[in-house]
Amino acid sequence: MVMTESAPRLRKDAERNRRLLVAAAVEVFSEQGLHASLDEIARRAGVGNATLYRRFPTRADLYAAVYAEGDATVRRLQDEVLRIQDAWLALVTYFEGVSMLSVSNRALCELMMTGGFPGAPTFTEKWREGSKFMGELIGRAHDQGVLRPEVTVEDVGMALCSVQQMIPAAGSIAPNAWRRHLAFTLDGLRARGVDEPGTPSLTDEELHGLVQQLFLRDGGLR
């Protein structure tokens, strides 16, 4: 009887500790970078170091857990956005959603861009996946006539990158400044019968290279 009652409780406690550790890792990695102290993560989670290493034997295991949780959040956002019938509202919802995620989970953003842990998709794999989703979103916006007709997937990707760069840069000075920047950015993409820009859109290859230059550091995690 004792064993029957204690086993579920032990499993429940272990899962609780795991959730606490992942949440603490997101917080600490977002504040201090991906090479932050694991001891600090255990402290913030309110558990001992032994518990941390029992749940996550290596730093890479913890990276993988943080990534998996954040990636699931992104996928839920994408599913939600694709169910929105108004294509402009869908585009705005996606931009706001990924920007909010950048504010709350810088660790995920860095892991998505750098990889470097077992099971992590490569930057190019994530790029292709994201481009496919964005292509569907932009196609719907063009079909509904709410997006400037000359705007490409790459134009939208570059616009999103500019907002993403703004978030950490202004974080300690004006943490909500990105919202104003995003509003102006979206307004520039919306169809209003304005003149075409004088320069062509970047190609997918050019934007891919630009994002690597902006976000990848030291060729990935060490």
Is there a single domain that holds both residue 10 and residue 108?
A: no
Q: For residues 99 and 208, give the distance between their C-alpha atoms in angstroms, rounded to a whole number.
A: 19
Please indicate, yes or no, if residue 64 is contained in any of the structural domains: no
**Residue range 70-84, pLDDT digits in tens:** 889 999 999 999 999
> Does residue 218 register a pLDDT over 60?
no
Please indicate, yes or no, if residue 220 is contained in any of the structural domains: no
pTM (2 d.p.):
0.79
Please indicate, yes or no, if residue 117 is contained in any of the structural domains: yes
> Does residue 219 register a pLDDT over 80?
no
**Residue range 85-124, pLDDT digits in tens:** 999 999 999 999 999 988 888 888 888 777 667 777 777 8
Structure tokens at 126: 């994530």
Please indicate, yes or no, if residue 221 is contained in any of the structural domains: no
Is there a single domain that holds both residue 129 and residue 173?
A: yes
Question: Residue 33 is part of a domain; what is its CATH number?
Answer: 1.10.10.60
**52 HSE (CA, 13 A, CB side):** 24
Is there a single domain that holds both residue 189 and residue 112?
A: yes
Is there a single domain that holds both residue 102 and residue 176?
A: yes
What's the pLDDT score for residue 167? 83
**169 HSE (CA, 13 A, CB side):** 11
| Number of domains the chain contains | 2
What's the pLDDT score for residue 173? 79
Q: For residues 166 and 175, give the distance between their C-alpha atoms in angstroms, rounded to a whole number.
A: 10
Is there a single domain that holds both residue 189 and residue 82?
A: yes
Please indicate, yes or no, if residue 23 is contained in any of the structural domains: yes
Is there a single domain that holds both residue 86 and residue 179?
A: yes
Is there a single domain that holds both residue 38 and residue 103?
A: no
Is there a single domain that holds both residue 50 and residue 81?
A: no
Is there a single domain that holds both residue 48 and residue 136?
A: no
Q: Tell me what the mean pLDDT of segment 17-29 comes to.
A: 94
**Residue range 161-190, pLDDT digits in tens:** 888 888 887 777 788 888 888 999 999 999
**Residue range 143-157, pLDDT digits in tens:** 999 999 999 999 999
> Does residue 8 register a pLDDT over 70?
no
Domain hosting residue 138, numbered range: 69-215
> Does residue 59 register a pLDDT over 70?
yes
What's the pLDDT score for residue 143? 97
